[in-house]
Chain A
Amino acid sequence: MATQSEFDRELRAHWPRLRRFAFALSRNAADADDLVQSAAERAMRSAAQWQAGTRFDSWMFRITRNLWIDTVRARGRHAARFVAEEQGASVGFDPRPGTEAAIDLSRAMAALERLPEEQREVVALILIDGLGYRETAEALDLPIGTVSSRLVRGRKALLTLLGETGND
């Protein structure tokens, strides 16, 4: 079992990546910070489950993702109208498509918003974080072939949503 200082060091080291993952999942700054902080808290409570020397990042990604799924489910049950508001807000957001080659954060989040949850999480881990297929499969408890096919669908949809920059 890891000591607390090892655990703290790992959590600090991976914090920026976890925050980015939380942003990609939730597409909302307030939700992302709540999510990553709740994940840190849950990880602390179950620190005994993490073995020093094994991949801390995959373990934290798993905790973060599972918490997010819980959040989405809870919202789906109790607050369907929030979803409608969220979608309404994102529909109105369209910052000059095609006039800027660079993707800014709000444009990236708006595009991710349109992906199904199952594609968004693999895009976030593999394309945005750079995690390997195998590590992603382990973090998400999925077969590697499923990860690979969800990633293909997600990235193709994103390329369409963000506009092909190489098509002129």
Chain B
Amino acid sequence: MTEEDEFFAWLDGELAPADAVRVEARVAGDSALAAEAEAHREMTAGLRAAFAPVMTRRSEVVDFAARRVARARRIPAGLPQWAAIAATLVVGLGLGTMVGGRGGSDAPVTIEGGQMVAAAALDQALDRQLASNDQSGEPLRIGLTFRNRQGNLCRSFSGDSASGLACREGEQWRIEGLYGSSGAASGDYRMAAGGDPRLAALVDGVIAGEPLDAAGEVAAQRRGWR
């Protein structure tokens, strides 16, 4: 190890105690070396601080275990688009039931008056879950909560292999968009990263102002999402 390598190893806390004491003494007696140590410490701290914002879980894969199930149960081809989408969401919720509006009492999406509305587990998640809580064990995650231009509350959600947006209308959550991922495996991950571009575009198109913060989300829930 060169003297320079040793100096930096000391700076990084990599030297054995006896060696560290020796280098410490050398640095203490050499103001140029002490200044260099300080400059490098500052730079390292600055680098870490600069990278802190990317230390987020936002792009975390939603639920690894559920994803395996979803992979094992690919949606058969040939279904109408909306059914395939809804079925993807069902698989994403881990319920294993096809949606169809006929007796599917635990289907997460039903058709009422020509509109898709949230039901069962999706309805419950939209009503009960808070994005500010730890949602890592939930099959479905709530993303943003915000008001649309009509003043209604909207919430984005993502399951294992589908994501979407629902807006409050009366006592129901109307599905404004539902995006399934039936593409390649890498596509799943991209979507689970919270970054389905279609969902992002939809949110941008309907949002008025800023999304609610944690306190706003709790308050909105207390008011029954009105």
Contact surface of A with B, Cβ cutoff 8 Å: 4-5, 7-8, 11-12, 15-17, 19-20, 23-24, 29, 32-34, 36-38, 40-41, 44, 101-105, 107-108, 123, 126-128, 130, 132-133, 145, 148-149, 151-152, 155, 158-159, 162, 164-167
B44 sits at the interface (CB 8 A): yes
Q: Are B65 and A103 in contact (CB under 8 A)?
A: no
Q: Are B39 and A164 in contact (CB under 8 A)?
A: yes
Within 8 A of A (CB), among B37-64: 38-40, 42-44, 46-51, 53-57, 59-61, 64
Q: Are A33 and B195 in contact (CB under 8 A)?
A: yes
By Cβ-Cβ distance, the 9 closest A-B pairs, closest first, are: A37-B189, A108-B50, A103-B46, A16-B55, A166-B39, A8-B64, A103-B50, A23-B54, A105-B50
Q: Are A148 and B51 in contact (CB under 8 A)?
A: no
Q: Are B59 and A37 in contact (CB under 8 A)?
A: yes
Known: A126-B12, A133-B14, A145-B1. 11 other contacts (CB 8 A): A4-B64, A16-B57, A33-B195, A37-B193, A40-B64, A40-B189, A102-B49, A102-B50, A103-B47, A152-B5, A167-B39
* A4: B residues at CB distance < 8 A: 64-65, 68
From B42, B47, B61, B190, contact of A166 by CB (8 A): B42
A41 to B12, alpha carbons, bound, how many Å? 33
Q: In the complex, what's the smallest C-beta–C-beta distance from B198 to chain A, in angstroms?
A: 17
Main secondary structure of the interface of B (DSSP, over half): helix
A25 to B33, alpha carbons, bound, how many Å? 30
A166 to B42, alpha carbons, bound, how many Å? 8
Q: Are B61 and A132 in contact (CB under 8 A)?
A: no
* Interface residues on chain B, number (Cβ under 8 Å): 38
A40 to B65, alpha carbons, bound, how many Å? 13
A8 to B65, alpha carbons, bound, how many Å? 7
Q: In the complex, what's the smallest C-beta–C-beta distance from B35 to chain A, in angstroms?
A: 6
Q: Are A159 and B51 in contact (CB under 8 A)?
A: no
Most buried by A among B42, B47, B57, B64: B47
User: Assuming the A-B contacts A33-B59, A44-B64, A127-B47, are A20 and B186 also in contact, with contact meaning beta carbons closer than 8 angstroms in the complex?
Assistant: no
B83 sits at the interface (CB 8 A): no
User: Assuming the A-B contacts A16-B57, A32-B54, A37-B59, are A148 and B39 also in contact, with contact meaning beta carbons closer than 8 angstroms in the complex?
Assistant: no
* A145: B residues at CB distance < 8 A: 1, 5
* B57: A residues at CB distance < 8 A: 12, 15-16
Q: Are B38 and A166 in contact (CB under 8 A)?
A: yes
User: What sequence of 0s and 1s flags, for each residue 1-42 of chain B, a beta carbon within 8 Å of any chain A beta carbon?
Assistant: 100110011001010000000000000000000010011101
User: Assuming the A-B contacts A102-B49, A103-B46, are A20 and B14 also in contact, with contact meaning beta carbons closer than 8 angstroms in the complex?
Assistant: no
* A34: B residues at CB distance < 8 A: 186, 190
Q: Are A155 and B39 in contact (CB under 8 A)?
A: no
* B4: A residues at CB distance < 8 A: 152
User: Assuming the A-B contacts A37-B189, A37-B190, are A11 and B55 also in contact, with contact meaning beta carbons closer than 8 angstroms in the complex?
Assistant: no
* B186: A residues at CB distance < 8 A: 34, 37-38, 41
Most buried by A among B50, B64, B186, B189: B50
From A20, A29, A36, A158, contact of B51 by CB (8 A): A20
User: Assuming the A-B contacts A4-B65, A11-B64, are A16 and B56 also in contact, with contact meaning beta carbons closer than 8 angstroms in the complex?
Assistant: yes
